[in-house]
Structure 1
Amino acid sequence: MNNYKILDVEVFVTAPNNIDLVVVRIKTNKTGLYGLGCATFTQRAIAVKHAIEDYLKSFLIGKDPSNIEDIWNSANVSGYWRNGPIMNNALSGIDMALWDIKGKIADLPVYELLGGKSRDGVALYRHTDGSSKEEVVEDIRQAIKEGYQHVRCQLGMYGGAGTEDTGLISKKMEAAKGLVKKRSPDNLREGQYFDTDGYLKSVVELLSYIRTEVGENIELIHDIHERVSPIDAIKLAKKVEKFNLFYLEDPFPPENLEWLKMLREQTSTPIAIGELFSHPNDWKQLIISQQIDFIRAHISAIGGITPARKLAVLGEIFGVRTAWHGPGDISPIGVAANLHLDISVSNFGIQEWTPMNQQLREVFPGGPIIKEGYAYLTDAPGLGVDFCEKAALAHPPRNEPPEWTLARTYDGTSVKP
């Protein structure tokens, strides 16, 4: 039996799509055998880099990379305090890299190590948006032409506020037009302003227009993105029930999850939540009590493939499907991890998909084949994605504080983004 050892742990921060991505590369004592992982917490990328380099690297050197479960558990408790997003992302980069190595040793794709394929392709949804309901419908029709059967529909991004921050989705987004907004006070402080009432009314109007123009043969998703009060989210969930959403996302922030019980009692609108979760107690009771329909965890934020596969099994037992977070602030390595889980778990629901630009493909060669709304994984060993260090160096990190997270209501009150 081969005596594999971890020789080195490297961390890279690169921004080929104008969003800071954190990549971990674990080298072994076997020439040419290495693994890649995603540790992207884009708003605190440098903190994650230092957590790995200054603490976890020395913990890992000399260990057998095959012992993924033991490494995850012992690394998780090595600092005593645990389950925060910085250390979870650091752990994720390591965990994904170890699964990548294990697949390469076995000469098998990771999904085979997770039990093989439960389906032949992974159904995707992509974002559709616009500054008017007409523009949103035009974007949806384009998505349908591309083969998508599920779309997320927003009007002017979150809360209708639009964004100038290209670190969110790699492009600027115009605010929603025609919303009736309350007047703001003088001397506005910095932030992304939106009007709650105007936004709530616009969602109902948007979904009604989409169903009239496009019909029922497209699955619709809308993301509240925790931007309104809990009671307003419940009222909205009841109003949109007639539009037969695939799901309504993030009606409440993690701090207000007790409201899910009240929501569940009042509407049958399916609910998805979880991209901000980092602690098992965030999701455990929600799944056991069946207060949600889809778990939206950001895999690197919960610690990687190892905890995500356990989360998926918990969901399977209680009838909750997966819908892993798949935004622009996740590297193609993290995207691949999502898809390997998607294709292997029996309770898969849907996968968020953010199209990749050419720069991303140059830095991260390989990956899935995207065709007519489905992702197809190859039989390449490991996660199936590589990393070109030279290309990455051409895209240095921005390391700038985000603007889109500074959400404010019309009077300037800071609210959850």
Structure 2
Amino acid sequence: MTTITEARVIVTAPGRNYVTLKITTSDGVVGWGDATLNGRELAVAAYLTEHVCPLLVGRDPARIEDTWQFLYKGAYWRRGPVTMTAIAAVDVALWDILGKVAGLPVYKLLGGAARDGVLVYCHATGEDVPALLDDVARHVDQGYLAVRAQAAVPGLAKTYGVPTPDGKLYEPASSALPEEHLWDTAPYLRSAPEMLGAVRERFGFGIHLLHDVHHRLTPIEAGRLGRDLEPHRLFWMEDPTPAEDQAAFRVIRQHTTTPLAVGEVFNSIWDCQQLITERLIDYIRTSVTHAGGITHLRRIFALADLYGVRTGSHGPGDLSPVSLAAALHVDLSVPNFGIQEFMGHREPASEVFRTGYTFENGYLHPGDEPGLGVEVDEEAAARFPYDPRQLPVNRRLDGSVHDW
């Protein structure tokens, strides 16, 4: 019988910090899984190395469901981002192995393609509205059909989603302590409709337009913003309120018909059960890496399908190409796919991760290589050591801590 002979964690930072799990079988087949949790990478690396990898040696790699249940139910302390990211890495690596053994891309193991390609949206940003419009134009020229638009809020030194003028990442800081950003809701609620209206005025309704609130509003504020955005016909308004309070979306629903998307910080089907079954959202944004892998993500998407909720998986650059590839295989196969986030990856990521997915005319395809279609160069990974970074903390103008 084929068994798992080794499970090993690789931490590397080719542009961003990534945690990768390598599983090797007695037949010499290697599977790759992404275990990256932005800002808490080493917590997952330790969970895998100390608690999970020793349990995998000797197990049958083809018993994917059994391994998932073993790691989830067997640990007693269930759920949470660290645990579910670790389980996801194992699960995705095992699907990769199964595809390689079968000689098939993973999406064919999931029932085959339900579409020809995966519609993706990009990120367009600007220090002001004119700069944003130029960035939208640049992405439209590249072939994108859907664009997430973010612009700096007048009067605030930093705004989520907008890189600094020097081109550095807007999220993590290489310092012992996190950066602290100031937030004021009032100017944001005034500027967001004007900003998105300017995008519509220049580009019309021929592109899909998305916007991320990043959990900054109260339910009634989110309802007001959604109502103000209705003339601009957004594809969705993302993460309008802190995601822990599922019932808050009832209030938002009462005040706007703007489609709602949420779920990138969710780790299990229980985090979004009420949102889906009460039809309080239109898109569920759980990601393959943070929600227990392909096995559990399919359960979430199957529940969503019963209630007319479509998928819109989180796909940031702080998840590795292994995660994106796994997401694309799921996206291609599920009946209720909506859209996939696609930020791409900063160089020199391509020196470490060899990818088989392709972009054309606004759509991604995972490719037809056996497994996920991504391989990792371990020698290259060793050239980019871990770079400790901190995610920002958000404060209101009065100094109190706010949701970031």
The two structures have a TM-score, normalised by structure 1, of 0.91
Tell me if structure 1 keeps the 8 A contact 2:310–2:336.
yes
User: CA–CA distance in 2 between the matches of 1:105 and 1:166?
Assistant: 43
Tell me if structure 1 keeps the 8 A contact 2:284–2:311.
yes
Q: Secondary structure at the match of 1:26?
A: strand
Q: Secondary structure at the match of 1:43?
A: coil
Pick aligned residue for 1:122 from 110, 118, 124:
118
Superposition deviation, residue 304 in structure 1: 0.6
Go from structure 1 to structure 2 and tell me whether the alpha carbon gap of 1:325 and 1:375 turns closer, same or farther (over 3 Å shift).
same
Q: Where does 1:176-255 land on structure 2 (aligned, <5 Å)? A: 191-255=180-244
Pick aligned residue for 1:28 from 18, 25, 33:
25
Go from structure 1 to structure 2 and tell me whether the alpha carbon gap of 1:165 and 1:8 turns closer, same or farther (over 3 Å shift).
farther
User: CA–CA distance in 2 between the matches of 1:72 and 1:384?
Assistant: 22
Tell me if structure 1 keeps the 8 A contact 2:61–2:97.
yes
Which residue in the other structure is 2:381 paired with? 392
User: CA–CA distance in 1 between the matches of 2:87 and 2:161?
Assistant: 32
Go from structure 1 to structure 2 and tell me whether the alpha carbon gap of 1:163 and 1:202 turns closer, same or farther (over 3 Å shift).
closer
RMSD of aligned Cα (Å): 2.2
Q: Percent identity?
A: 39
User: CA–CA distance in 1 between the matches of 2:273 and 2:167?
Assistant: 33
Tell me if structure 1 keeps the 8 A contact 2:305–2:336.
yes
Superposition deviation, residue 350 in structure 1: 0.5
Q: Where does 1:81-100 land on structure 2 (aligned, <5 Å)? A: 81-100=77-96
Matched, 1:50 2:37: no
Which residue in the other structure is 1:414 paired with? 401
Superposition deviation, residue 4 in structure 1: 1.0
Which residue in the other structure is 1:305 paired with? 294
Go from structure 1 to structure 2 and tell me whether the alpha carbon gap of 1:165 and 1:60 turns closer, same or farther (over 3 Å shift).
farther
Report the more deviating stretch, 190-199 or 339-348. Answer: 190-199
User: CA–CA distance in 1 between the matches of 2:291 and 2:153?
Assistant: 26
What one-letter code is carried by the residue in structure 2 that aligns with 1:5? T
Q: Secondary structure at the match of 1:23?
A: strand
Matched, 1:110 2:103: no
Q: Secondary structure at the match of 1:386?
A: strand
Superposition deviation, residue 14 in structure 1: 1.0
What one-letter code is carried by the residue in structure 2 that aligns with 1:363? V
Q: Which runs of 5+ in 2 are unaligned?
A: 172-177
Matched, 1:146 2:142: yes
Go from structure 1 to structure 2 and tell me whether the alpha carbon gap of 1:228 and 1:160 turns closer, same or farther (over 3 Å shift).
farther
Go from structure 1 to structure 2 and tell me whether the alpha carbon gap of 1:135 and 1:261 turns closer, same or farther (over 3 Å shift).
same
Which residue in the other structure is 1:67 paired with? 63
Report the more deviating stretch, 100-109 or 246-255. Answer: 246-255
Which residue in the other structure is 1:278 paired with? 267
User: CA–CA distance in 2 between the matches of 1:164 and 1:127?
Assistant: 9
Q: Once the two structures are superposed, what CA deviation does each residue of 1:321-355 show, in whole Å capped at 9, x if it has no partner?
A: 10000001100000001100111111110011012
Report the more deviating stretch, 228-237 or 98-107. Answer: 228-237
**Count of matched residue positions in the alignment of Structure 1 and Structure 2:** 396
Which of structure 1's runs of 4+ aligned residues deviate more than 6 A? 157-160, 163-167
Q: Once the two structures are superposed, what CA deviation does each residue of 1:206-241 show, in whole Å capped at 9, x if it has no partner?
A: 011111122111111000000122221111111111
Matched, 1:77 2:73: yes
What one-letter code is carried by the residue in structure 1 that aligns with 2:272? W
